[in-house]
Structure 1
Amino acid sequence: MADILLTANSVAILGPIAKFLGWILDKIYILVKMATGIENIGISIILLTIVILGMLFPLTLKQQKFSMFSQKMQPELNAIRKKYEGKRDQQSVAAMQQETSLVYKKYGVSPAGSCVQILIQFPILLSLYQVFSRVPAYITSVRSSFDGLVDGIIKTSGYRGIMKGIVSSQKLSVSVDFSDKHQSIVNNYIVDVLYKLPQDGWKVVYDKFPKLHGNIDSTIHSIKQYNYFFGVNISDSPLTTIKAAMADKAYLVVLVALLIPVLSGLFQYLNVKMMPQPDNGSEQMANQMKTMNNIMPIISLVMTFSVPSGLGIYWATSGLVRVIQQMFINKHFEKIDIDDIIKQNELKLKKQREKMGIYENQINNAAHYNTKGIKSKADLSGLDLDKMNEASSMKKEIKPGSLAAKANAVQEFNDRNSRK
């Protein structure tokens, strides 16, 4: 069986995500119709964008927090890397990982905090591409708008050959097999072709099915209601729309089609400029990050010209929403006392260690969070002998692989270094 372009995507991971997002879009479409009487996928996409970004907001806030705190903790991470520079033995690697982990815990952030949102957004974008390219497969009322015409077509003698000829003459990027024995599949193929037809292509349908002019007019009217956003077909790319509109001298449509990618790139650029940038401690890496931030909006602008306009509307709307979100996030962070958060995290860590039976005296220099206080060797001169004996007896009860066991391994390593 040939691939169907506009039916639901069944690829692993993307298929279920597309189905879920399509389900949300369908419900939004129905709610908008019930509330306003308007049937328009473009409006539904804008509302869908707000819903998705609302769901992702906790991750956005987490990413912003990581970017802000990374500037504060980078000197400490650099000091740890310098301390263990050139040491590749197992104990040194474990000690470095332990000290690095403690620094992250001190600031209350995760090392993966800067990339989680990107990893989540990428499959969402790919899935939305499928949804906006295959709208009839996901929005029930859109699919039903073709039913009358499809019923008339399949009752026409030789319709399979006629539809095959339309696909060939219009050079449609849809793979179909009208010889399939399953009528429901053939019906889907017909919807695929009709939904993908350009405006001139409907003239061919008029000629090939002269007895169905009423059904054809009704279908075209429905498509223009729900599938066009200010004259732009959301399933066509802005570039395709611009070419067709220029030929028809529809310059207002050209302007709208141009605005979609332009606003997409502009809002992304503003969003990047407003975001706190993580400090990676390297001037070279910082320059690379700056270059990437400048290039990404341009890539967004160029790519939006060639993807469905529906995806461009999502991209532009998400950029605007993110700019608004960023304004509130920046104001929120202005009220945050970073030093107070660090003290609270230090207190939590201390209580956790004490609960596990690890006294503060046992912790190596990784626990001294002040950058200036990081040393190459742990200072053991101030340890209380009684507490050391008590701590030593507790080592026997510590489970292998636990945080306490790792802390003891680090301490033993530093003890040996101090005697050299």
Structure 2
Amino acid sequence: MTQIILTQYSGKIIGPIARLIGYIMNYLYMFLDNVFGIQNIGICIILFTFIIYMLMIPLTYKQQKFSKLSQKMQPEIKEIQKKYQGKKDQASMMKMNEETQAVYEKYGVSPTGSCVQMLIQMPILFAMYRVVYNVPAYVSSVKEVYTPLVDKITNVSGFQDIIEKFVETAKVRPMYGLNFETATSTSNSIIDVLYALPSHGWELLKDSFTGLSDIISSTADQVAHLNNFLGINIANTPFSMVKNGWSEKDFILIIAALAVPLVSYLTQVINIKLMPTSSGAGDNDAMARQMKTMNTMMPLFSLFMCFSVPVGLGLYWIAGSMIRCIQQLIINKRMENLDLDVIIEQNKEKAKKKKEKRGIYQNQIANAAKMNTRNIQEPMSAKEKDAKIQQTAEYAKTAKKGSLLEKANMVKEFNERNNK
């Protein structure tokens, strides 16, 4: 049973990214249609993937350069770790962090440099999942293909009951159920059902709406150009395709369904093999072990994930891996001619300038603190104190009538009389 999302995803992060992908896919779709007469979402996904990875080339190259520099600086990092091994006091930990940061600055490497690309790719992957799962909700040109048929269906008397029976027969369910409250929600619900139909579902639809056979057939032909890529419906999951193929004894469909996750796995493995590895890290190095585990798990993750997500998302995954393989071959060639010693010298100069700036700034703070600090005067001698009292007494005699000083004198005289 196929489940799809009724409306656009409303998440605050993934939602806007999914809508942006939908706009881009719509423009790609119109470009292919107007220039080449091609109406195919699978090709749009491949073109979109190509554009994304072309835009990420500078970031990929920078990451690879950081990886090379990281290999070169590992001996110095290990020396620092060995130097402070077993020291858990705060002073030692702070000193170790300072020395480690100095090495990073020396080589121009960021500790989080390898995470940036992942932080960009993951939201796009999740947003692409939303788009592929319900293309008509995001790509308006695709929605227009279904609209004429939906208008005809809604004009049929008692269409709500017919649609409800049809989804039971075709075993297609919108994730949030059918919604016939308004004209817009009704139209969206029917489009969602039609988008998720397997090939035999269109024949069942003709049986449900016998008077609409012609427009159902023409819409089914258009949809075949939209959703089918190399004979596979990109809206279906490989798992559901295998089940349908087994029940219908369609072994070609089973092979095609299994090919998607297998190709995704193989392209991921090839991509990892082409990635530069740290030659200086031993088997006991924690980071090396983590990287080895990740390189083993990621292809397996894509293998199992591609079974349960729409084929369109697997197509995005495969296209991305293949493009990365080509990029990596080019970057590896460039890395061979990269003079790391020159880059390290440039980074040392940058680090030196940063230290100088930090030193100037810290001196400015220290000087400002000195200027704003109130000077503490030395205590007065007994002679100076008597002189000050005498001066105050002389000044008190000149107090004006009604002033605070006169009142203070009156209080003083009153106290002196009482003390006698």
Normalised by the length of structure 1, the TM-score is 0.80
* Structure 2: gaps (5+ residues): 371-420
Task: Pick the structure with greater CA Rg.
Answer: 2
Following superposition of structure 1 onto structure 2, how do residues 280-359 of structure 1 map, counting pairs within 5 Å? 283=284, 285=286, 286-357=288-359
Quote how far apart the aligned CAs of 1:95 are: 2.3
Change in CA separation of 1:251 and 1:175 when aligned onto 2, cut-off 3 Å: closer
| Corresponding residue number in structure 2 for 1:396 | 366
Aligned equivalent of 2:384: none
- Deviation of 1:6 after TM superposition, in Å, equals 4.3
Aligned to 1:239: 239
Residues 29-44 of structure 1 aligned to structure 2 (within 5 Å) = 29-44=29-44
Q: Give the Cα–Cα distance (whole angstroms) in 1 for the partners of residues 299 and 358 of structure 2.
A: 49
Q: Give the equivalent residue in structure 1 for 2:277.
A: 277
User: Is contact 1:6-1:133 (8 Å) kept?
Assistant: no
Whether contact under 8 Å (2:237, 2:309) holds in the other structure is: yes
- Tell me the TM-score normalized by structure 2: 0.80
Mapped to 1, the partners of 2:40 and 2:262 lie a distance apart of 22
What is the alpha-carbon distance in structure 1 between the residues aligned to residue 326 and residue 368 of structure 2? 50
How many corresponding residue pairs? Answer: 365
Distance 1:110 1:89, change over 3 A: same
1:59 matched to 2:59: yes
Distance 1:331 1:90 in 2: 45
**Pairwise CA distance, 1:277:** 2.5
Match of 2:107 in 1: 107
> Structure 1 pair 228/155, CA: closer, same or farther in 2 (3 Å)?
same
1:97: which partner in 2? 97
Matches within 5 A, 1:125-144: 125-144=125-144
SS in 2 for 1:262: helix
Q: Compared with structure 1, are the counterparts of its residues 282 and 230 closer, same or farther at alpha carbon in structure 2 (3 Å cutoff)? A: closer
- TM alignment of 1:10-89, pairs within 5 A: 10-89=10-89
Distance 1:220 1:394, change over 3 A: closer
The offset of 1:259, in angstroms, is: 2.9
Among all aligned residue pairs of Structure 1 and Structure 2, give the percentage whose two residues are the same amino acid. 45
Corresponding residue for 2:416? none
How many angstroms does 1:282 deviate by? 6.2
Checking the alignment, whether the CA contact within 8 Å between 1:70 and 1:280 is kept in structure 2 is no
Aligned in 2, Cα 1:14/1:395: closer, same or farther, shift over 3 Å? closer
1:38 Cα shift?
0.8
Does the 8 Å CA contact 2:160/2:180 hold for their aligned counterparts? Answer: no
SS in 1 for 2:56: helix
CA contact (8 A) 1:177 1:186 kept: no
Indicate conservation of the 8 Å contact 1:6/1:135, yes or no. no
How many Å apart are 1:203 and its aligned residue? 2.5
Do the aligned partners of residues 118 and 356 (structure 1) sit closer, same or farther apart at CA in structure 2, a change above 3 Å counting?
A: closer
CA distance in 1, matches of 2:4, 2:323: 34
Counterpart amino acid of 2:284? E
The CA distance in 1 between the partners of 2:354 and 2:122, in whole Å, is 37
Distance change (3 Å), C-alpha of 1:311 and 1:399: farther
RMSD of equivalent CA atoms = 2.6
Deviation at 1:244, TM superposition (A): 3.3
- Check if 1:264 corresponds to 2:264: yes
